[in-house]
Structure 1
Amino acid sequence: MSEIGIVLIVGLFVLLLLGVPIAFTLGLLTAVGIWMADYNPMILAQRLIAGSTITSLLAIPGFILVGDLMSAGGLSKRLVRVASVCFGHLTGGLSMSTVAAGTFFGAITGSAPATTAAVGSVMIDELEKRGYSRGYGAALSTSIGPLGQMIPPSIPMIIWGVLSEESISKLFLAGVLPGLIAAAGFCVVGYVHARRLGIAREKRPGVREILAAIREGIWALLAPVVILGGIYGSVFTPTEAAMVGALYSLVIGLFIYKDLQWKSLIPLFIKSMRTTTVIMFIIVVAYGFAWIIASEQIPSQVTQVLLSLTSNPFLILLLLNIMLLVLGAVMDTVSAMVILSGVLTAVGTQVGLDPIQLGAMVVINFAVGMITPPLGYSLFVASTISGLSIEKVARNLWPFFLVLIGVVALTAYVPAVTLWLPGLLG
């Protein structure tokens, strides 16, 4: 490996261990790499500007705003209510209701922390009232967060589509089956847990109660239909869908549910802008870092090292997934994807992995990182909402974690899980 490559890789780990924010780490190392390679310093500014002008990234602030508007506008709590009347009377029904609500919410926002926050803020207390431990409720709310990154629309899928120049619509579809399999696995965990604790089932709701919940929540239920139906009906692009979803959530929250007040819009917009700014700052500097990494041919060098360990595609995929799971636990998803995109694409090509399958595998691995200490954002959110320590929440996570590991394995070794639906798109 070249001298510049060694400096960049060692510098990355050293600065992260020292606690330097990832955006500043990447920006500093990019500048050092350009200086060592004796490139024109203007290239740094050009790379940063190039990273900020990718049109597809405009979908990210839109979906972040959708999540915030749905939470503040009452759409999320009505989704939870519909899920409760549909599943609450089953054994483990309240757990299943939490999973169903998380699946619906994830199909609108594309964000793991937003899904955990919106559903967990309602369901953790409810689960505790019905006999579940608070730790279990927090762990379940943490676990449904990754569904927001698997089930379309998914913010990480958008980022990977931009990096790999693959169809974002196909990547969205590639996450549907893994997301539904994970949701089904969580429901099984909930059923077994309720049986083991002997938690009583809720009273079966009457038809009138079910219809009332659906009638009240119909506008929330229509949100994924509007967003995803528009994308796959070729009515608008994913970027336009994000803006349509934000407008839809705003109108419903203000004029139909009326949980959203005009005076609360400015603070809400500022909150969304702050979240967007952090993500975009990381993407911009990581784009420059990825460029200097590629110019030094580091991806191909890492690929050669990995392939020198074994020529068995099964073992290469196993090593790749272990690496992604470890990195997902210690790195921010956005920066990790940008930094590793060249390496992962090169390795995927060498083992004959379909680019869409590779993208889904990468995103799902990093989705698991959202619930894994020490940097699991959904874990932080659930800990804050529940008032429990991260350690206590993490101790209750293991059955849900095993479900997600199973989904990762299916994604890596059963191509149809991720490629069947995109294949229907053509």
Structure 2
Amino acid sequence: MFLCGLLWVFAVLCSPTSAYYDPDEVASLPGMSFKPNYRQWSGYLRAICKLRGPVRQMYCIWFHGEKGCRFFHDEHVNDDGATLYENEFSWNKIANVLYLESPAGVGYSYSDDQQYETDDDQVADNNYLALQSFFSKFPSFTQNEFFIFGESYGGIYAPTLSLRVATGGSFKTNFKGFAVGNGITSFEINDQSLIYFGNFHGLFGNELWADLYSNCCENNICNFYNNSSPACSIVSQAFNIVYSSGLNVYALYLDCAGGAGSRRPFHHAMRHHFRAYRKHWQTNQVGGTAVAVPPCINSTAQTNWLNRGDVRKALHIPDILPAWDICSDVVGGHYHTKYETMRDIYLKLLGLGLRVLVYNGDTDMACNFLGCQWFVEALNQKETTPYQQWLFDNQVAGFYQQFGNITFLTVKGAGHMVPQWAPGPAYHMFQSFLSNGSY
């Protein structure tokens, strides 16, 4: 989440009976090779809980990664702990940045009763309470325009939170819009488009593509998502190539950290994909033990730094909390997805006049650009800017198309984590969106 105006790193404490760690300013963080020229805080914010189920305590808002994976991902911390804010393309040069680790149970977020079963709506409620808590403690920021950004499964977190903000709360008048980067917009469209993405990027070969087309298509209309024909189970072969052959699913043209031989499936991330064929691919080529860390991603440096005692102390992390990790297998395994598509929520938000940006690094296979493009087009908004290139540093940085208040944009050569792999173009995109300027 971005608030125009200091860098904020918060935690949200959603329990009046829990220990309360008041947000305090952090001059610098241990292990960094620079001293920030901006102010930053870390700690916990108390929220009044009116939740269904267990009390949540969330270490505060950038939504990132799969369910159960959040905060300080590769985009936010490098080998010496320095964040990507400290470079010429740091987003906090033009906006306050507020991060939230969500849902409870990931990173330094936790639940009092250690019960981590949750769903899309409950996470949105928690996140809304977190935002209320922030504005209650820092009321001057209610005068600032603000935007919500989400990435990956944040494609659900961002619009569901946006709807709550836009339809209630004293700070709703300055909420101007949201952006989703390489995010889930529709499980069906994402899976359907992935087959085309894989084929036209040379992953399947003519023989497999011919079999896919003959067994899953009729009258030139293909159903790769939930086709009831037993012959269409051949989709599992395509699935295995994308997810289990050693390719980096988050960036097709980058190597897989640890090598292809170390590649194991990230089951919680895959459980919504091609569900009609799940039994087939689970009993065939997709083997191995489920792992919490996203495959092909090396998070060792970030994990080591965030678990240093002096770093935890500087961030005001209570000693009772376990070690930080990039993902939580417990949270991922107990998460219930309630929305198959964000279509209705997008339409409601567009009807309220909010600005929306859907952007994709075009080498990502986890949430591929083609699916997001199809999703935006299917909203049936009137085109106002035809599909065309946009530039950064006098080079083609990608392509974009506008439909009134919603923009679809690609970032050329970037994968799942656009700000990490294309910081310059991402900065330009971010600035243009906030200012409602041209790309």
After TM superposition, the score normalised by the length of structure 1 is 0.33
Which of the two has greater strand per residue? 2
**Larger RCO (alpha carbons 8 Å, 6+ apart):** 1
